[in-house]
Chain A
Amino acid sequence: MVKTASPPLPPFGLLVERHGAELHAYARRLVDGDADDVLQDALLKALRAYPRLEHGRHLRAWLFRVVTTCAIDHVNRRRRRREVVVDAVPEVPEPPPSDGATFDGLLDGIPEGARRALVLRYVHDLPYSQVAARLGCSPEAARQRVSMAVRSLRERLR
């Protein structure tokens, strides 16, 4: 058997120990009071998919994506519930498991600089110093752009 150089999957619990607090903080920024439920859903979803991942690279970024998707699903479910109550339509069809909202789709419309900063930070998993270097701005400005993108994301999730 040919051994690949891919890093093996670390124990899932160690990922939670390393990134749990920042994922929780991120979930709080996206969905306020429902952060516990969203994070729990996200970690269970991640756990279900975990053994099928092909390698142990970019796991932090992957977890952030799962939390983002779960936050979107959560808000969509909440919105649908609200619509049902408001419209009181009797034959509401069973909602599809996901209505196609994706991380990339969600990012459309966020100002370019902020969007790039968010992707570099959370998808490419770069520290602020490197985000700044890629964007040609100061680390503080990079931090502000990421923060602006998260605020913008949060507005869309409302």
Chain B
Amino acid sequence: MTAVTQEVILNDVLKLLNELARDWEYSGEITPDTWLFADLGFESIDAVVLASFVQEHYGRPFPFPQLLADIGQRPVRDLRISELVLFIQQHLNGSAAGA
């Protein structure tokens, strides 16, 4: 199976967030460097729902607990979009390779 590139996943994630952000009164541009909590004003429950959308979009589970545990170890408990994309790519392609 062909590996999904970071560019494709980034486009997917940005499309999803830009669609949602129409209601958020967020005037800035959403980029790979945007922080989910600090910039977009996420509440933690928003992370739960975003994870649902990502899983629904790709039709498969991702180990979000692992990602969140990693975030919990950091001084800054936040996540850049680029990190989310990398996380998705690693597990999407890891799963594809093993399939």
Q: Do A and B come from one complex?
A: no
**A residues lining the B interface (CB < 8 Å):** none
